[in-house]
A and B are shown apart, each in its own frame.
Chain A
Amino acid sequence: MDALADSPAPEPANPPAASVPAPPRFVSEYPSYQVSRRGFLSWLAVGWGAFAASGAAAGGAFNRFLMPNLPLYNPPMVLKVGWPDAFEKDKVDERQKPNGFWLRRGFDKATGRTGIYALSTTCTHLGCTPNYLSAEQKFKCPCHGSGFYETGINFEGPAPRPLERYRITLADDGQVMVDKGRKFQQEKGEWMDSEAFLAI
C-alpha cells in the first residue's frame, strides 16, 4: 500500500482529445471529516458555550475570594486605655502597641507641654512598625533604618516626617481615651491642637 502512495498516479492510456475537462470538485479523502453547515454551527455553539461557562465559573470563583470566610473583624477605633496615673512618668508605654500606638506621659519636648500623648506605630516612610529601643530612647524602624525620638520627631534614616499622633481625651469616667480615627501631623502644625495632647 505504501508503495502505491509514493508512485505517480497512473495516466489514462487514451486521453479524449476534444473533451472539455470537468470542473475540479473538492472531495475530502477522509469522509469522516466532512462537516455539514448545521453540524459546524452546533459544535461552534457548544464550544463557545463551554468557554463562556468556564469563564463564568472562574469569574465566580474569583469573586468568591473577595468575601472572607471569617466574619470581618473591625478593630475598635476608640479605645479606653486606663486611668492617667496608670502610666509611669517619662516612660514610653508599649502596652497598646498591638492596638497601633505608644503612649508616653511626661514633659513633651516637641510641644513644651506636660501630659500624655499617643504616637502611631506606623513608620512614615513605608509603613513598617518601628521597635522601641529603651536604652537609646528612640523608635527605630527595622525596614530602612528610620529613627524617631520619643516625641515622634524623625531624626535619622529616610522617614520624611514625624510619627503621627492620635486624638487623646479623657472619657466621662476619667479614663484616658484614644481615638485612632483622628490623626495629628506635626509638619502641618497640628500637634498644638488641644486634642492632640492630654495635659495633666
Chain B
Amino acid sequence: MLSLLLAEGHGGGLIPAPVRSAIDRLCDPQYFLPLFFVAFVAGLVFYRKWTQPKVAGGIALAALAGFGLALTNHNFLEIVERPDNIPIVGMLGLVAFFTWYSLRLAAVNDERIEKGEGPIEKTGSNDRVLVWPDLVFSEFIALILCTVLLVVWAIAVKAPLEDPANPFKTPNPSKAPWYFLGLQEMLVYYDPWLAGVVLPGLIIVGLCAAPYIDFNPKGNGYYTFKERRFAISAFLFGFLNLWVVMVLIGTFLRGPNWNVFGPFEKWDVHKVVVLNNVNLSEGFWIGWLKTGFPAWFGASPANGSLAQAGNVIARELPGLVLVLLYLAVPPPVLASTVMKGFYKRMGFIRFNLLVFLMLSMMCLPIKMILRWTLNLKYLVAMPEWFLNI
C-alpha cells in the first residue's frame, strides 16, 4: 500500500493528490501572503479565544499531524530534511510557541485588569524564586540539555558544506544563510541599494527609535495586549508577516532559478514561469498613452547630457509623483482622521516619524503585490543613475 503511494508521481505520500496540489497553489506567495495576513488579523482580534490552552493545544496537534502527514511526501521531505532547513523548521515551532505564550499571558492579564485585579506580575506573590539555588540550577540544567542537543545534532546531521567556491558556477538556487533569506526575498522586488541598504537600515533605526516614538506608558513590566494594541500589532506585523514569512518563503518555496515551488512540488530546473515585467514608465507612456517616452528636452542625444537628464526625469515622472504622494499624503490625512488621537498625544515630529516608518514598512508588501498582480518591475526606473524604486 505504502509503496504504491510512494510510486505515484509528484512524490506520493499519505495526503491525497488534489489536496496537495491545492496546498501547492495556495502556497504561491500572492495567495499565501494575504491569507497569512487575514489569519494574523484574526489571531489578534480573537486573541483571548484561541490562546486558551485547549484551543491552542488542538491547533498545535492538528499542525503537527499535518506536518507528519506531509513528511510522507518525498518532495516535501527532501526540502524539510536538508541540513540547512532543519533549524528553520525548529524556529517556526519556537516562533509559534512564543507568540502563543506571550499572547496567552497577555489575555490572562487583560481579563484580570478588566476585573480590577491588576496584572499578575504586579501582585508580588507570583513565582519569585531565589537565584541560588533555584535559578542557577535551572540554568545549569538548561545548559546541559542544550549541549546534549547540539552534540546529538552535530553527530546526526552532516554540515551542509558545498563545493569550493567557483565564481563562474553559481549554485542554483543560490541561497543566503537562513536569517538573510528575508532580505534576499526583499531583493527580488527592490534594487540592491534599497533592499540591501536603506530598508534594512530603516528597520534598525526604527527599532532603535521605537522607545522614543512610543507615547503609551502602560504595559511596563507586565504582559498585556489590550493596553498596547497598536505597538504590539505593529511589531508583530513586521516580525511575523514581513520577516518570518519571508524567511519561510525563501527557505521552502524558492527553488531553482529562484522560481516559486509549492511544498509538494518537484524542484524542476526547467519549470516555465511567465514573469515578464515592465517598469511603470513603460506601462504609462508606451502601454497606456501609446506616445512613447517623452522627449520634451530634445530627442537627439546630441542635445547634451542636461537635456537627456531632463528626459529621464520626464520619463519617470509618473513613478516619481506616485512615490512622493505615497510619502506626503498619508501623514496629514491620518493625522486628521484615523490617527487624530495619536497626533495630539505625539506631536508633529514624533507623529511624522511614526508614519514615515510605517510607510517604509509597507513598501515591501505593496511592491510584492504590484509585482505579482501587475507585473510591475520598478515604479521609478532610472538605471542611468542606478536609482530604481
Residues on A lying within 8 angstroms of B by beta carbon are: 97-98, 100, 121, 125-126, 128-131, 133, 135-136, 140-145, 147, 155-158, 160-161, 187-189
Contacts and interface: CB of A to CB of B under 8 A. Distances in A.
B192 interface: yes
Nearest to B168: A98
A189 B172 CA distance: 32
B99 interface: no
A130 B277 CA distance: 18
Contacts of A143: 170, 173-174, 184, 258
Given A136-B272, A142-B256, 13 more contacts: A126-B196, A130-B170, A131-B257, A136-B270, A142-B170, A142-B172, A142-B258, A145-B188, A145-B259, A157-B277, A158-B189, A160-B388, A187-B384
B190 interface: yes
A126 B174 contact: no
B258 A155 contact: no
A155 B273 CA distance: 12
B116 interface: no
Interface in B347-389: 377-378, 381, 383-384, 386, 388
Given A97-B168, A128-B170, A156 B275 contact: yes
Nearest 10 CB-CB pairs, A to B?
A: A145-B258, A156-B275, A142-B172, A161-B383, A140-B257, A143-B174, A160-B388, A129-B170, A160-B383, A142-B174
B276 A144 contact: no
Interface in B251-273: 256-259, 269-270, 272
Interface of B: 167-174, 184, 187-192, 196, 256-259, 269-270, 272, 275-277, 301, 377-378, 381, 383-384, 386, 388
B168 A121 contact: yes
Given A142-B172, A144-B184, A155-B276, A129 B377 contact: no
B383 A131 contact: no
A158 B173 contact: no
A143 B259 CA distance: 10
Nearest to B371: A158
Nearest to B378: A160
B168 A157 contact: no
A165 to B, nearest CB: 15
A118 to B, nearest CB: 15
Contacts of A130: 170
B171 A187 contact: no
30 contacts: A97-B168, A100-B168, A121-B168, A125-B187, A126-B192, A131-B257, A133-B269, A135-B270, A136-B270, A140-B257, A141-B170, A142-B171, A142-B172, A142-B174, A142-B256, A143-B170, A143-B258, A144-B188, A145-B258, A145-B259, A157-B258, A157-B275, A157-B277, A158-B189, A158-B190, A160-B191, A160-B378, A160-B386, A160-B388, A187-B384
A188 B311 CA distance: 13
B214 to A, nearest CB: 35
B377 A158 contact: yes
